[in-house]
Structure 1
Amino acid sequence: MNTFHRYGLYPTVFITGAAILVVEILATRLLAPYYGTTIFSTSSIITVILAALSIGYWIGGRYSDKHCHLDHFAWFIAAGGVGVLVIAVLNSLFVPVIGYQLSLTSGPLLLSLFLFFGPILLLGMLSPYAIALQNAFSPEVGIGTISGRIFFWSTLGSIAGSLLTAYLLIPSFTIPQILLATGVVLTALGVGIRLIAGTHYQATLPMVFFAVALFYGEGVSPFLSPAIYQSQGVYSQITVFDAPYDGEETRFLVQDRQSSGALNKASGKSAFEYAKYYDIYRLFNRDIKNALIIGGGAYIIPKMLHENKPSVSIDVAEIEPNLEALSKEYFQLPDTPQIKTHVKDGRRLLLDSNQQYDYIFSDAFSSLYGQPTQLVSKAFFDLAKKRLNDNGIFIANIIGYFPPEGGPSLAGSAYLTMKSVFPEHLLIAVESNEIHKIQNFIFVGMNGKMPNVDYHFLRRHPDPLFSELGEKVILTEKLRLENELIFTDSYAPVESLSAQALTYGVTAKKIS
């Protein structure tokens, strides 16, 4: 018995166990540009991975009973490696074509089956096969001990793969690079074991050539617009590109599928209409000294606030650590001590700090329409109000619509939740007062008595933001809220309501 027969299977399953977790974690990044990091994506990925592993265990056990040979075991490893390489190719060539055609609810499941089921099934076959092989090599050890050792090393590899992916690979390399390296390592491992098993090297050449061809042939960018900057962030794929918007030259920041900011290059202001409502605070409390922006994105709102009122101390809560530097380089963010970034979730920042603010603007999104659930619950709004000074202003950007037949809906439930905390408030429809249309809604709440606004007088204001305000403020007493929800930490179905809003928007476009 050679050394590999006695000890080699344990490091082998360690490597394959690591590879499974690498692919599983990367799966969330592969789907995020099309479906965001929603509960549908997470659940679909876990479901497909577990289904593939369970079927792989069953097939691997049955097959090893009939064909318990080291070269067969090696072939499955190499085939799994090629399967991982195929994921990288499909992600570049086909997923950009079909990803946006599928819905937010069914798309993640269908793409997960398409991309991950086959390779993970092959890798799932390896643990029971390794147990059968080790038992054949060392029958005196006992099947129970062998099983325990195999699953120990495989699970330990999965732990290592999880930590390695999160703390080293994703921060250092692109997703295609990680997939390609994982596939090559597995293919090389399988080929090496086949050579140890005494298989003629000619039998391994087609698989080696195929892996090399995929390695060098992959690399088509899934982005249709020429990117000025593109990299993998800690939480999302980050892309900066220029494109016309409303007839103006505009620079965009995109995180996965979602546009996180757009700068009109001529004016230096936001190209998105909703962002201009950051300035609405001047109607109610002009004397703000410190502000918190939750969700930095391209830092356009902090930039405009600083330019408009340089004396204000601005904190920005942004979980993606590279965005401040990117905004300085690409989005004209000034380098000033008045703007301070906290790489932290906005709610956590409010919880950990005793800092009081005159102004809080919440603009963080986790998917196309949906905000992170921890930032739409009543507990969050209670905490935000607690951190506001007297007469402080809270502003939140919501994307959605108010259904004609009543809720529940994303916009309606978010509004009802905020209204329960801020009884003194305004609701503004950014595009028009057609509340049944998908658009941005701006919620303005005040920690104190909100002054009466003379909208007729404001019509003479030189700034359209104020002169047109009377046409965009919603008469909230006419909203149908009886079926809307108050979001809590224990129940906030943001993802499903976001999918409902997206489906409604697509249907409305087709009808019109």
Structure 2
Amino acid sequence: MTTDETQRRPALSDLSAALLVFGSSAAVLVVELVALRLLAPYLGLTLETSTTVIGIALAAIALGSWAGGQAADRVDPRRTIGPLLAVSGVAAAATPFVVRGAAELDRENGLVLVVAAVMILVPGALLSAVTPMVTKLMLTDLGQTGTIVGRLSGIGTVGAIVGTVVTGFVLISVVRVSTILVGLGLALVIAAVVVEVRVRGWRFGVLPAVLVLGGGLTAAVAPGGCDVETTYHCVSVVPDPQHEGGRTLVLDGLRHSYVDLTDASNLEFEYIRAMAAAIDSRHRDGTALQAYHLGGGGLTLPQYLREQRPGTRSLVSEIDGGVLRVDTDLLGARTGDDLEVRVEDGRLGLGRLPDGERDLVVGDAFGGVSVPWHLTTREALVQVHRVLRPGGTYAVNLIDYGDLGFARSAVRTLQTVFENVVVLSAAATFDDDGHGGGNLVAVASDGPVDADALRSRLEDREVPWVVEDGGPLQRWIGDARVLVDDFAPVDQLLTPSPPRYG
């Protein structure tokens, strides 16, 4: 073989180049999607959180591609690909420890966003630099430039697609977040070891292996872990130190439901007692109901209805099958003919119900840091109205703070569908100083809603809330917009704040 032929020979085989570009591109998307899951307990699964993470990931890809191309023209790419993979692997493996540690240090969560941005940016940029490095190594003939660049670009795109699909549909649903990131870190460092051994000898593969071991160990002991990681939530079950049978279901760091294993009528949270008061004021005590629940949580209210209203049949749409497993395995929930839970999106489940079948619809799918906006729109409420019998009741839990822009719009939207709407909440919620907020329960029906009866029931249940209706309610709503499927800026209207429960 002549010297010219040697110089024209690619430094990497086609297979090696394809694997490096495919794997590094896939890894960037794995980090991005898992970062969303990792941040959910602290920032929520909101549009702003998703937009921020996607923006940081795209910035990392742009920075890495630009800087990697510049570096490839100045240094031998064969000496840089291994270190890029190794450092990326260490960063990925250490991410759970670093992000959760930041959250423990700063309860206001400002620090966690900055730290998360760094932990996304570093591996994303380094991994994105791999493609221009590999491209440089494969460009041995100017006549093949378009073919090589196009082929590697396509391979990188396919890798990103595979990383997205596998992570979103498989990994997050069956593997803990920490395990995904440590596993990714290990895979990247193994790839770095292989590259270093082949290019520079076995001695250069020792350091990456030591680094990933350290990163993996720190991630394994990361604080802020969960009892169960489901597709949508970091779930913990916390025993009540003051009541042996009490359990609190914590979703993404927020107290979501309280369940008494020995007494289903023990309703700990004020908003749940307010909902029970609303139901009792609208439906004669002890009467069996046909109920539908948008959101399951700890199944507190369905089990309460089962005990207090024998013969009641409740159907629940809960999007997270992992939460249902926690309910049955750790919270003593018993499903059956009188309590059926379907793992499905609430909007889709609502659309499948027959007309006029339900006495009661309960909306309790909103959390303190995330809102399923598609359940708040006029079109969704038309579906709620459709499944209710004449005079049936829709009771929905809302959470908002600050100027309560979201809550006002949600109630205004209810008024476009139901003839009568009242709102229950703490007195401070309706003040004009803009410092109210928390849980609100809206009660809507085409039948009369007796505000005085509601106040009496709240008093009976020791809920120090007020009931707003008529003129005072209209003044509170003001000029709030109606939410529709085509325009429902819920995340922008919502003012999040860490509530005591969700």
State the TM-score, normalized to the length of structure 1: 0.86
375-384 vs 264-273, which deviates more?
Answer: 264-273
Select 1:256's aligned residue among 235, 252, 256.
252
1:85-164 matched pairs, under 5 angstroms: 85-98=93-106, 100-102=107-109, 110-136=114-140, 139=141, 142-164=144-166
Please list, as runs of the form range in 1=range in 2, the aligned pairs for 1:254-293 lying within 5 A after superposition.
Answer: 254-264=250-260, 267-268=263-264, 269-279=266-276, 280-286=278-284, 287=287, 289-293=289-293
CA distance in 2 between counterparts of 1:179 and 1:452 reads 54
> What displacement does 1:116 show?
0.8
Q: Secondary structure at the match of 1:46?
A: helix
Query: 1:235–1:61: structure 2 CA closer, same or farther, 3 Å change rule?
Result: same
Contact map agreement 1:422 1:445 (CA 8 A) in 2: yes
Q: Given the superposition, is the C-alpha separation of residues 455 and 153 from structure 1 closer, same or farther in structure 2, using an over 3 Å criterion?
A: closer
1:324 Cα deviation from its structure 2 partner: 2.5
Q: CA shift at 1:5, angstroms?
A: 2.9
For 1:156 and 1:270, the matched residues in 2 are separated by 51
- 8 Å contact from structure 1 (residues 369, 400) kept in 2: no
Structure-1 separation of matches of 2:175 and 2:239: 24
SS in 1 for 2:139: helix
Aligned to 1:82: 90
- CA offset at residue 141 of structure 1? 6.3
- Is contact 1:60–1:129 with CA below 8 Å preserved after alignment? yes
Counterpart-to-counterpart distance in 1, 2:461 and 2:97: 53
Query: Does the residue aligned with 1:169 lie in a helix, a strand or coil?
Result: helix
Structure 1: how far apart are the matches of 2:204 and 2:451? 81
For structure 2, the residue ranges without an aligned partner over 5 or more in a row are 1-8
2:34 maps to which of 23, 26, 33 = 26
CA RMSD of aligned residues (A): 2.8
Which of 177, 185, 188 matches 1:186? 188
Q: 1:425/1:271 Cα in 2 relative to 1: closer, same or farther (>3 Å)?
A: same
Give the Cα separation in 2 of the matches to 1:467 and 1:272.
11
Corresponding position: 1:306 with 2:303:
no
Q: Which residue of 1 aligns with 2:202?
A: 201
Matched-pair contact (CA < 8 Å) for 1:85–1:179: yes
- TM-superposed CA distance for 1:284, in Å, is 2.4
1:473 partner SS: strand
- Distance in 2 (CA, whole Å) between partners of 1:351 and 1:214 is 47
- The aligned residue for residue 295 of structure 2 is 295
Other-structure match for 1:510: none
Local SS of the residue matching 2:237: strand
Matched residue type, 1:164 = V
- The aligned counterpart of 2:408 is 412
Does residue 474 in structure 1 map to residue 468 in structure 2? yes
Partners of 2:176 and 2:123 in 1: how far apart? 20
| Residue 341 of structure 1, CA deviation | 1.0
Structure 1, residues 457-510: CA drift from partner, whole Å, max 9, x if none? x85xxx7654768962124412333332212222222223323x539x99xxxx
1:112-146 deviation line (CA, Å, top 9, x unaligned) = 4222111111011111111111114xx27611110
SS in 1 for 2:416: helix
**Residue pair 2:396, 2:441 contacting (<8 A) in 1 also:** yes
Q: Distance in 1 between matches of 2:451 and 2:438?
A: 24
Structure 2 distance, partners of 1:309, 1:253, is 24
Contact 1:68/1:132, CA 8 A, preserved across alignment: no
Unpaired runs of 5+ residues, structure 1, are: 507-512
Aligned partners of 1:28 and 1:305: how far apart in 2? 36
The alpha carbon displacement at 1:423 in A equals 2.3
* Shift in Å, 1:243: 4.0
**2: distance between equivalents of 1:464 and 1:69?**
71
Q: How many Å apart are 1:302 and its aligned residue?
A: 0.9
Which amino acid letter does the alignment assign opposite residue 372 of structure 1? P
Q: 1:32 to 1:143 in 2, by over 3 A?
A: same
Q: Secondary structure at the match of 2:430?
A: coil
1:89 aligned counterpart, secondary structure: helix
Question: What SS class does the counterpart of residue 222 from structure 1 fall into?
Answer: coil
Q: Secondary structure at the match of 1:317?
A: strand
Counterpart position of 1:58: 66
Relative to the length of structure 2, the TM-score reads: 0.88
CA shift for structure 1 position 244: 4.4
Which of 67, 79, 82 is the matching residue for 2:75? 67
Over 3 Å counting, the alpha-carbon distance change for 1:451 and 1:29 in structure 2 is closer
User: In the alignment, is the contact (CA less than 8 A) between 2:451 and 2:467 conserved in 1?
Assistant: no
Which amino acid is the alignment partner of residue 437 of structure 2?
Answer: I
Q: Deviations over 1:400-424 (max 9, x none)?
A: 3584xxxx62222211111222221
Structure 2 equivalent of residue 440 of structure 1: 439
Q: Determine the C-alpha separation between the residues in 2 that align with 1:295 and 1:417.
A: 20
Q: Tell me the equivalent position of 1:450.
A: 448
- Whole-angstrom CA distance in 2 between matches of 1:289 and 1:266: 23
In the alignment, the residues of structure 1 paired with residue 451 and residue 160 of structure 2 have an alpha-carbon distance, to the nearest angstrom, of 60
Separation in 2, partners of 1:332, 1:467: 25
Q: Secondary structure at the residue paired with 1:94?
A: helix
* SS at 2:494 equivalent: helix
TM-aligned CA distance change 1:252 to 1:196, over 3 Å: same
User: 1:119 is matched by which residue type in structure 2?
Assistant: P
Residue in structure 1 matched with residue 390 of structure 2 by the alignment = 390
| Residues 385-414 of structure 1 deviation map (CA, whole Å, 9 limit, x = unaligned) | 1111111111111123584xxxx6222221
CA contact (8 A) 1:44 1:109 kept: no
Q: Percent same amino acid at aligned positions?
A: 23
Q: CA deviation at 1:277?
A: 3.1
Shift of 1:204: 3.0
> Residues of 1 paired with 2:66 and 2:239: CA distance?
51
Kindly state the Cα deviation for residue 315 of structure 1 after the two structures are TM-superposed. 0.6
Partner secondary structure for residue 194 of structure 1 = helix
CA 1:446–1:29: 2 relative to 1, 3 Å: same
Count of residue pairs the alignment pairs up:
481
Deviations 1:142-178 (A, max 9, x none): 1111011111211111111112112322222111111
The worse-fitting range, judged by mean Cα deviation, of 326-335 and 288-297 is 326-335
